[in-house]
Amino acid sequence: MALIKTLEDIKEIKKANQIIARLYTDILPKYIKPGISTFEIDKIVDDYIRSQGAIPGCIGVPGIYEPFPAATCISVNEEVVHGIPNGRILQDGDIVSIDTVTILNGYYGDSARTYAVGNIDDEAKKLLEVTEKSRTIGIENAIVGNRLGDIGHAIQQYVEKNGFSVVRDYAGHGVGHKMHEDPMVPNFGRSGRGFKIQEGMVLAIEPMVNVGTYKLNMKDDGWTVVTKDGKRSAHFEHSIAIVDGKAIILSELD
């Protein structure tokens, strides 16, 4: 069953998400440029989250082999999700996805954004635009009376119409008291199917969109997920709450 949140819960979940919103809007754009390493970006994220009285939610999450070792997931180009920050230096023309979870007073925020590094080509520009727009379309379908399949169907239709593919092995989810809660929110599917959307639900809507195939591989580290064909991927995520029958975005900067 989905965990239905009170208005007070939603207020606290929004506070956790606003830290990420400020990070993505006011802090990271100053640093994400050619020449910075993903390790340096992770340090910036870690320091900022802690400066706001929160803690990074990704550190220590159990994995296949080892717990996740960093404050945030940083995935570059063909890396789809769960990239481990390291010494990789960002190059002009790269795209980099930052997926961050915060814990503030026991409540979780969760949001992701893909950034252009320097000057990116037209294909990458279109990929970012389509992925971000597909997130908006998914959120617009998150209304009382719809089902989760309506969200996934709308995202899939838009993405495929634009010549890209939607990742199927990873999905959105409930969020708030934990990082991952029921229900799963796939980014593909059939309208009219799935769990009914209810007042008080808090969901992470997060399309992951690939230039080529939707099929994936995992690197030997047990965390970093990459496209099977080596083509690029983008990831945009918002945490939303269903209030008065429709979605309000918690991870968008006030």
Do the domain assignments include residue 1? no
Domain count, the chain: 1
Q: Is 177 annotated as a binding residue?
A: no
Read off the pLDDT of residues 35-81 as tens digits, 9 standing for 90 and up. Answer: 999 999 999 999 999 999 999 999 999 999 999 999 999 999 999 99
Read off the pLDDT of residues 78-130 as tens digits, 9 standing for 90 and up. Answer: 999 999 999 999 999 999 999 999 999 999 999 999 999 999 999 999 999 99
What pLDDT was estimated at residue 3?
80
Do the domain assignments include residue 171? yes
Contact predicate 236/1, CB 8 Å? no
Confidence class for position 145, pLDDT limits 50, 70, 90? very high
Strands of the sheet containing 225-227, edge to edge, are: 79-81, 225-227, 216-218
What are the tokens at 228? 């099977």
Q: Is 99 annotated as a binding residue?
A: yes
Q: Is 220 annotated as a binding residue?
A: no
Give the DSSP H/E element, type plus range, for residue 157: helix 148-161
What pLDDT was estimated at residue 2?
54
Nearest to 185 by CA among 240, 124, 120: 240
Do the domain assignments include residue 50? yes
What pLDDT was estimated at residue 250?
98
Domain that holds residue 68: 7-249
Do the domain assignments include residue 242? yes
Q: Is 235 annotated as a binding residue?
A: no
Read off the pLDDT of residues 3-39 as tens digits, 9 standing for 90 and up. Answer: 899 999 999 999 999 999 999 999 999 999 999 999 9
Q: Is 182 annotated as a binding residue?
A: no
What pLDDT was estimated at residue 119?
98
What pLDDT was estimated at residue 223?
97
Contact predicate 230/252, CB 8 Å? no
Do the domain assignments include residue 254? no
Residues above pLDDT 90, as percent of the chain: 99
**CATH code, domain with 20:** 3.90.230.10
Do the domain assignments include residue 118? yes
User: Has residue 1 got a pLDDT over 80?
Assistant: no
Do the domain assignments include residue 2? no
Nearest to 69 by CA among 50, 46, 90, 89: 46
Q: Is 238 annotated as a binding residue?
A: no
Do the domain assignments include residue 194? yes
Burial of 158 (0-12, 13-18, 19+ CB in 10 A): buried
Helix axes 122-140, 148-161, angle to 10 degrees: 160
Q: Is 82 annotated as a binding residue?
A: yes
